[in-house]
Structure 1
Amino acid sequence: MTATDTTPTIRKGRKFAQVLEGARTIFLRDGFEGASVDEIARVAGVSKATLYSYFPDKRLLFLEVVRGECARRVDDAERPLQATTSAPEMLCAVGSRIVDFIVSDFGVAMFRFGVAEGERFPDIGRDFYEAGPMMLRRRLVAQLREFAARGELAIEDFDLAADQFAELCKVDIQSRLILGVSSRITARERNRTIAGAVEMFLARYGAART
């Protein structure tokens, strides 16, 4: 559900985080459709009445889990920039966080959900995009603008550049995991992908390019 004036207000209380953690465990294990409210309440250690007092329906609970997880991971991807931080160092750090998200159980589960259920639950897919990839794009754009102001990058379309870098970090890794071709990504594959993404991005947007 996208944020509107008609979106129900979520009440927070003493067991709110407990409910979310239980829901996260079950959604990752069983998916949205397979997740049982009874099982979520059991794993969270609360009654169904307590769960429903926070979340009147499963969809709202799922979206809150998605928003919280995405916000946490995007916050992890953003680090205060130091005067001595270079553009390659910033890109390597952001690329590392992007790949970490892609290969995480949560990242794989969410993208599989999007492929399997996106048509039936378009609002959930939209909310995930806004809470995750779109939030990351906004923060990456801000960092790209700062390095462009320093003269280290030459970018005209910052949104496009941010999207291109994120896609470079996914090369082959995401599709292999989602489709079950690979069950894990090695450290060598991870580092190779990040280094290649940074190198290609700088070849296009580095201020010193010829």
Structure 2
Amino acid sequence: MTQPAAVPRKGRKYDQVLKGARKVFMADGFEGASVDDIARVAGVSKATLYSYFPDKRLLFREAAQTECDLMAERILSMIDETRPAREVLTVAATELTGFLLSDFAQQVFRICVAERDRFPELGRAFYEAGPKNGQARLMEYLDTAVAKGELRIEDTEMAAEQFAELCRVKLWNQAAFGIRDRFTQGEIDSVARHAVDMFLARYAA
């Protein structure tokens, strides 16, 4: 199986192509998304699209990476490490829970599961861009909080994984199994608050 190029070519219409690809992947899934449709929605020629992304899997990977990076940057921009750990973790939990329930995150999850056997690299790409990247950034904060004496954690890698799982409680399963697709901010805040309560019950100094 031919693997996608490791790094796409950047250029003037790179963001335009990515935006079009995101819309089509969201609407049609990975298998249903045609290069013709992506080029049309992006407003570029197929030749231009292929000049940036010679493989559809690379395009999907880059779209997922970009969205996850934006989510991580949003969370980081809202975090003030000078504030108490509870406040910092509440911001992170609220934003993470909301992202996990978003149309984008749910659709990408479904695509990765549906294409797991034929294109396992799609799942690996999203895992690297999303869960693994988020865990690494959370670990950095946890290490800082431990050094400041706010938290008492021996294994921050495990603790970061646990924190993310606490943010999946109740609502994520409902979204993943198609029971519901819309959630109120109050419901998201409740999951985040309980996640932080449970986490600090175990790890507060």
Aligned equivalents of 2:176 and 2:161: distance in 1?
A: 20
Once the 2 structures are TM-superposed, how far is the Cα of residue 114 of structure 1 from its aligned partner? 2.4
**Identity value in percent:** 51
Kindly tell me the number of residue pairs found equivalent between the two proteins: 203
Aligned equivalents of 1:186 and 1:82: distance in 2?
A: 28
Q: Return the match for 1:143 from 134, 141, 144.
A: 141
Once the 2 structures are TM-superposed, how far is the Cα of residue 40 of structure 1 from its aligned partner? 0.5
How do 1:1-210 and structure 2 match up within 5 A?
7-79=5-77, 81-83=80-82, 85-207=83-205
Letter in 1 for 2:138: L
2:192 counterpart SS class:
helix
CA deviations on 1:136-181 (whole Å, 9 max, x unpaired) are 1011001011111111100000000000010001102111111111
Q: In structure 1, list runs of 5 or more residues that go unmatched.
A: none
RMSD: 1.7
CA deviations on 1:97-126 (whole Å, 9 max, x unpaired) are 111211111111011122222222211101
Q: In structure 2, list runs of 5 or more residues that go unmatched.
A: none
Letter in 2 for 1:175: N
When the two structures are superposed, what TM-score results if normalisation uses the length of structure 2? 0.94
When the two structures are superposed, what TM-score results if normalisation uses the length of structure 1? 0.92
Once the 2 structures are TM-superposed, how far is the Cα of residue 9 of structure 1 from its aligned partner? 3.9
CA deviations on 1:21-65 (whole Å, 9 max, x unpaired) are 000100011011000100000001111111111111211111111
1:78 counterpart SS class:
helix
CA deviations on 1:55-107 (whole Å, 9 max, x unpaired) are 11211111111111111111112235343x00000100110111121111111
2:196 counterpart SS class:
helix
When residues 8 and 132 of structure 1 are mapped into structure 2, their CA distance, relative to the original with a 3 A threshold, is: closer
